[in-house]
Amino acid sequence: MLAVRVIQEQGIHVEGINFYTGFCVEGHTHAIRKKDRAKPKRNNALWVAEQLGIKLHIIDVSEDYKSVVLNPKHGYGANLNPCLDCKGFMVHEAMKWMRKHDFDFLITGEVMGQRPMSQRKDTMPIVSKESGANDLLLRPLCATLLPETLPEREGWVDREQLLNFSGRNRKPQITLAEKYDIKEYAQPAGGCCFLTDPSYSSKLADLWQARGEKTYEIDDIVMLKVGRHLRPRPHFKLIIAREEGETNFLRGYRKNYLSMNIISHSGPVSLIDGEPDNDDLELAARLAARFSSGRESELVTVELMQKNGECRNFHVKPLNSEEIPQEWYV
Ligand code: SF4
């Protein structure tokens, strides 16, 4: 928001681009769980564009983005976040868009030293270079700490009016936001990309390990955002809803996965990912029953639904907590 305002102040027309990678934490994710209900159910990029009064272009890059997540040349950050490759990829995509739509240069809101991987003095030039943007990429919030870009040299932008923000301290940004009368803004650090989340990353790593290769489809990565994931055997795992919102969400996937419903008691819907045999299914039913209101009962009836809608019932004794090793929790 600040970078846009700084550039708009110079009378320059700005439009926004938002890339959908499949890993974005957005309003629809918050809408599933009760605990997140207080969070605004909105697409933050759209909301920001509205605040700024600029056009926003939302581009789905989820297919091409796979190569960034699966094989990042510069590796991962603290979790499975390939931030440096990701920035290079996004700026490259933005460049393609810029040329196609006859715009002149790119800006980002990056601040030197603000993020440990992609916003360091030594890595910011890597993004400019590897994206192919080179000196068409201007970072208005820290431009005076960086070499002059083409828009500055050509006089399209007055360098004197650009900024020198650096480091993790956000006070200068907050002061500038006050100057522009920006009172509300999206979560400033992390929190917008599941790849920076340790629990999400361990589920993604588990998925790759179970498949024996690094691949994913969009449904796989959406599913990692929802439910408790337990892997009792290497070849299958259970995704168990933690609350009503998740149960409703998982129900929508019953044609894609084997699913289990608790019939004799109240309990969550579970999906099974993998290739379970009959013994595995019985174990899965006992595990699912553990998370139902019948957990202390002698017998719980669990319905197994095939992807084609065929059903059969298991009458099982729920596992007790000692029978569920901590390692099963992904
Ligand atoms: S946090 Fe996520 S979206 Fe942001 S740069 Fe890193 S990988 Fe990309």
Dump pLDDT digits (tens) for 134-185.
999 999 999 999 999 999 999 999 999 999 999 988 899 999 999 999 988 8
- Global confidence as pTM: 0.89
pLDDT of residue 42: 80
The SS3 of residue 249 is helix
Element (H, E) at 207: helix 198-211
Q: φ and ψ at 206, to 5 degrees?
A: -65, -40
**18, 31, 81 from 24: Cα distances, Å:** 11, 14, 12
* 8 A C-beta contact, residue 98 and residue 152: no
- Ligand 1 centroid to Cα of residue 231, in Å, is 28
pLDDT of residue 35: 73
The best mutation among 23, 193, 204, 221 to test binding of ligand 1, ranked by most ligand atoms within 8 Å of the C-beta, falls on 193
pLDDT of residue 185: 83
Distance between alpha carbon 253 and the CA centroid of its chain, in Å? 20
* Residue located nearest, by CA, to atom 3 of ligand 1: 193
* Largest Cα–Cα separation, the chain: 79
pLDDT of residue 38: 72
Intervals of the chain under pLDDT 70: 27-28, 30, 187-191
pLDDT of residue 24: 86
- Ligand 1 centroid to Cα of residue 61, in Å, is 13
Task: Label the pairing between strands 300-305 and 311-316.
Answer: antiparallel
pLDDT of residue 189: 54
* Nearest atom (ligand 1) to Cα of 83: 6
pLDDT of residue 27: 61
**Residue that is written with structure tokens 């629990």 in the block:** 199
- Ligand 1 centroid to Cα of residue 82, in Å, is 7
- Ligand 1 centroid to Cα of residue 117, in Å, is 10
* Residue located nearest, by CA, to atom 5 of ligand 1: 83
The best mutation among 71, 115, 195 to test binding of ligand 1, ranked by most ligand atoms within 8 Å of the C-beta, falls on 195
- Ligand 1 centroid to Cα of residue 215, in Å, is 19
pLDDT of residue 192: 79
* Nearest atom (ligand 1) to Cα of 82: 7
The best mutation among 73, 87, 194 to test binding of ligand 1, ranked by most ligand atoms within 8 Å of the C-beta, falls on 87
* Nearest atom (ligand 1) to Cα of 21: 3
Q: Give per-residue burial for 195-217: e unless 16+ CB within 10 Å, then b.
A: bbbeebbbbbebbeebeeeeebe
pLDDT of residue 44: 85
Distance (Å, whole) CA 217 – CA 34: 27
Pocket of ligand 1 (CB under 6 A): 81-83, 86-87, 118, 193, 195-196
Task: Label the pairing between strands 236-240 and 16-20.
Answer: unpaired
* Nearest atom (ligand 1) to Cα of 86: 8
* Nearest atom (ligand 1) to Cα of 69: 7
Joined tokens for residue 59: 């581009």
Distance (Å, whole) CA 262 – CA 294: 9
pLDDT of residue 41: 73
* Residue located nearest, by CA, to atom 2 of ligand 1: 193
